[in-house]
Structure 1
């Protein structure tokens, strides 16, 4: 199994550095070579929570949005806490749809924004509130509803990931794209995978060019992309 992740810190740099070092280690350390799908999902969930607890115990205020993808011979297992996103690119014709492009984007994760109805309901049930200040914000402050860290908002901004599983279909699946919200602020999932696929056909993995394209389109947030 291979593990990949993108880590988007906020309110400081320490969250992303810590999570980069520890999260995948915490996932891997709890897995055996022969592990069921259910055990992998459980290990990922526990690792997110443990990483959050360990980071908060350091007494810092930083936070970090996280998206990870575990790839085995049989499954693609995506997990996220925050608004970084994982997208799977598949052959368009394999989906039975008439499309102009050669690839179709399938979101492997759903962004954790405070304005998402289920997330807002969860926050309000915990005694918090969401207010619109340019974008929906938890307690009028944070623009994501899940993350590792953010100790002062931990009652509302949980680290528990949502996990989604896709079977591996090597003949239909082209690549997985992971990126921070600096990309998704200016491009849709479909636009991003089409851009990468054009670069892929030119023997370029497309990640660096996709970052440059996001800047060209006016993204003012930090941008990290992995293909």
Structure 2
């Protein structure tokens, strides 16, 4: 993904996610609505992250079909401060992902993977150190800090264009920024992948 393309994506993301917290969507406007639960029994065949899916959960999938692909999973739908619906999918007490639903079609137009059980085809996962990720994805291109919501996102030379990596530092920022700058090519040694976002191209 080219840096200019990331910049355009990041300008849109905070607008779409205004009010969405670091780990879970904002729940202040409405109470959680339970939307389904299936009895466990089968295990998910794949936890592979591709450029358009997290395991069997695909971009464009109807919200009503998502749980059918994840036996044993539960989901809750919440609205953030902008009225955007988010589905949080949980399995055995572990939050797997947050899914932003289209207002009209109720299809998944953004998947934010927060569980390390999912792994990309290049073997990258949540919680992994950025140096290791860079070695797998052709090197770190840049880290960009977004003023709205104070999030950091990293790009890598060989990452798919629809895959965005939110990063975090242990005791501060993931990137080491020049004074008054919001873009850097230097990562703190403690920086790790906070979440992996899939967005429609």
TM-score of the pair, normalised by structure 2:
0.28
TM-score of the pair, normalised by structure 1:
0.26
Larger radius of gyration: 1
By relative contact order (CA 8 Å, sep 6+), the higher-ranking structure is: 1
More helix by share: 1
